[in-house]
Structure 1
């Protein structure tokens, strides 16, 4: 790879305008080279995951958001391919079920949090509750909240409170050992059009298309405004957002893998636990016992 990648370049540290952030990045390498680099990074990540599992003191939460067709599913498949299945769980959050709506909006995310030593990937996340619901505030009425009786009650004060709740949620789990990554897969409207057309032209991709995709596409500008506001209000040192240029899928996958790798391997206190001194002192004897059978 000719171009050096500094992961700090993608971290949101101050207020941004999405329109100023590029959806493309030239890594000065072809797809074959990028995919080779990805394989190397994800193998190292797989090894780290085994170490973290044995260490058992940290958990990792990876939140992936993006407009429809941003490449969330394929990114998860490619980046985490070398993980031990016992150490990673993917949660794809859809429209809330009746049971979920009988709890507060964060409940289904709380119960999906990773245990220590494991990774959880949220494919769409708790941020749907300040994105889709903000574009379609009538959805909030389905939560049956005490102080919300009409769409007029879903005002700026409501959203301010909800962002505060999300920040508190993330701060709480971070302070209790969960390392949080939040990735916004940033694609252009033109690229989304190309990907939707591909779904329609390829018979084996037709199942991914819904006429509703076109209705939501008409609201592109509103969604961009909501994403921008959500990112600006909730990118914190303990739970940073990363804006990933995603018009090119191999590039996006590599960047996410590298950010995970470089950040996690910087934790010098994550190591395999030491054997009990007595067990360690007798390893040669245990070997002899087994070899003499």
Structure 2
């Protein structure tokens, strides 16, 4: 199956409710795993090249509702990477220290350095998703002019969209390739996955009563996702909407998109030895072979 990244890019007039949570073309579970294995080996080879080239970084942002498959996607897509070249961050409830800074501070300090991949599993977009569904969370940020939930207007969210766009533009201008994936899970499939957590003793630990609380706000979250994605999908920092009801296919699609888009950056190549060192290779070999 040929995966065209453009087919998954979010449009400005995005309507999440009209998008299928199942891929139009589907491989069997075995075929999808085989396709993923092939793509991720090539992606790991690109990582080595990126590391040696040392002029760019890659930031992979993954968002989705509970049970969308974020953790397992990260595990499977980046399985073949050299662990020194990739770092994952999962952003939970802000700490007291994090709240004492601007909301993007903790994301700035977690960014990948040149030559590295960084994975944000839950991302800076939590600041226009969770806080929008639960605006009272903003009170902990102690923001000027925001003394109650009534002070949080549409202009406030528009300001945050602009700030996030500027944040990502700065990263791109300084050599970071940004990929943002929304795992588009259906409400029915989420129910099935939550029931699985309840029915299988070895999965019970994953369940929290808060999962059901957030599920009741499904429509609110979808509206917030739709507006956030529509306002922040740009040429240098695109959103990709990934059908997530089929986990093996979602992983294969994400890996293929990353591989194709990154391999198109043909200027990223392995560095060449300087002329002096290159001219001495035979001498160095002789010296070593004498030992």
Gaps of at least 5 residues in structure 1 are none
Report matched runs for 1:180-199 at 5 Å.
Answer: 180-199=178-197
Q: How far off its partner does 1:5 sit?
A: 1.6
Q: 1:113 aligns with which of 87, 111, 116?
A: 111
- Shift >3 Å, 4+ stretches: none
Q: Is 1:226 aligned to 2:227, yes or no?
A: no
Q: 2:273 aligns with which of 263, 272, 275?
A: 275
Compare 126-135 and 5-14 and name the one that shifted more.
Answer: 5-14
Q: How far off its partner does 1:14 sit?
A: 2.7
Gaps of at least 5 residues in structure 2 are none
After superposition, what is the alpha-carbon deviation per residue over 1:51-72, rounded to whole angstroms, capped at 9, x for unaligned?
Answer: 1000000000000000000000
1:83 is paired with a residue whose SS is coil
TM score, norm. by length of structure 1: 0.98
Q: 1:216 aligns with which of 214, 217, 236?
A: 214
Report matched runs for 1:37-186 at 5 Å.
Answer: 37-186=35-184
CA distance in 1, matches of 2:52, 2:19: 39
CA distance in 2, matches of 1:200, 1:288: 65
CA distance in 2, matches of 1:164, 1:29: 39
TM score, norm. by length of structure 2: 0.99
CA distance in 1, matches of 2:145, 2:51: 43
- Look up the match of 1:246: 244
RMSD: 0.8
- Look up the match of 1:29: 27
2:62 is paired with a residue whose SS is strand
- Report if the CA contact (8 A) 2:21-2:186 is conserved: yes
Q: How far off its partner does 1:269 sit?
A: 0.6
Q: How far off its partner does 1:285 sit?
A: 1.0
Q: How far off its partner does 1:26 sit?
A: 4.3
- Report if the CA contact (8 A) 2:12-2:231 is conserved: no
